[in-house]
Amino acid sequence: MTYVITVLLCTHNGVRFVTEQLDSLLAQSVSPDRIIISDDASTDGTWEVLRRYAQEHPAISIRRHQPNRVPLPPTESRFTTAPPNTQAEAHPQTGDGRGRAGQARDVPPLPATARNFLDLMVGERDDYLMLCDQDDVWHPDKIAVTLAKMRDMEARYGSDSPCLTHTDLSVVDETLQVINPSFREAMNANWARTTLRDQIVQNTATGCTIMYNRALANLLTEVPRYTVMHDWWLPLVACAFGHMEPLYAATISYRQHGGNVVGAKDMRTFSYKFRLALNLDEINHAVRRTYPQAAELLRIYGADLSADTVAMLATYVNLPALSKLGRVATVVREGFWKTGLARNLAYLLVV
């Protein structure tokens, strides 16, 4: 059977590490059919490196990112009649400064990295697609083992079922020396949490390890007005309509350096838990951002979701409209939990 494997890679001022990443893609035991690279206004020589690789390797195509090429959607909701308490229009702020119906205060625009990836994800349809960061190094069998997992999922669920799989990562320093052999263990992540209810509260997939199939790609019809990150949006859609399963093997050297957009922290340590207790404002900000993200999932896909799923999402989106006691009671009743005692205690303090 023939199929097309496409790697989606986004770059921005990544000249220090992008050559190693590209070399690792080209050295895969199962070669990608296409490597599509979208560069976001690099000024450090990254574009020149990409041009050289594209000239030497036919599988590589490069483009300058143009954020307006895939315009953001208008503000109208897809709902003919909005479900109870999920109106898309803006509401006045409540007394504690929280927006109603998921309109959290001071919601930032889409992060530039997320917009770059989302534009690629919305625009590309192939049998299997993988996301790739500019500064990591893929292990030689990454595509092979991830593809085997994906093919197993499609054998069980059907190739017409949206499927996503993700793997563990080996955390390394700038020189690729191992800091921690398992990102999952360092993050104290519970990868068994694969329901949509789990994922709206806490993402468990790391974008640079993800592979998804054509059935899931076909659901990515528009760039959301807001999402915390592209690799949180993708699991949300997968869990809403299909299946997400982890692969516990590390398939990537996840490089830590000063320019990481998202890095790795060892969340099992006492020092992390102590810092967590001192950073409730940061946790509060992170929680606030999940409400408009869930609201966007409702706006784009609500007409295609089951009534129970719509009701669950609407309940989560409307948490900011409740009193403190009401929010805590709803979290407990609905099971909107994170992984681990420390995370959940901090979550209850800020929700």
Share of the chain above pLDDT 90, in %: 76
pTM score, whole prediction:
0.86
- β-bridge partners, 62: 37
Question: How many domains does the chain contain in total?
Answer: 1
- Judge residue 18's burial from the number of C-beta atoms within 10 Å of its C-beta, 0-12 exposed, 13-18 middle, 19 or more buried: buried
Distance, CA of 43 to CA of 53 (rounded, Å): 17
**Confidence tier at 221 by pLDDT (50, 70, 90):** very high
Segment 72-86 mean pLDDT: 39
> For residue range 222-258, what is the model confidence (pLDDT) as tens digits?
999 999 999 999 999 999 999 999 999 999 999 998 6
**Confidence tier at 279 by pLDDT (50, 70, 90):** confident
Closest CA to 215 of 238, 194, 240: 238
**Confidence tier at 282 by pLDDT (50, 70, 90):** confident
| Residue 255 C-beta-side C-alpha neighbours within 13 Å | 20
For residue 138, the domain's CATH number is: 3.90.550.10
Task: Name, in order, each residue with C-beta under 8 angstroms of 152's C-beta and a sequence gap of 6 or more.
Answer: none
| Residue 170 C-beta-side C-alpha neighbours within 13 Å | 15
Whether pLDDT at 2 is above 50: yes
CB atoms within 10 A of CB 100: 18
Domain holding 169, by residue range, is 1-351
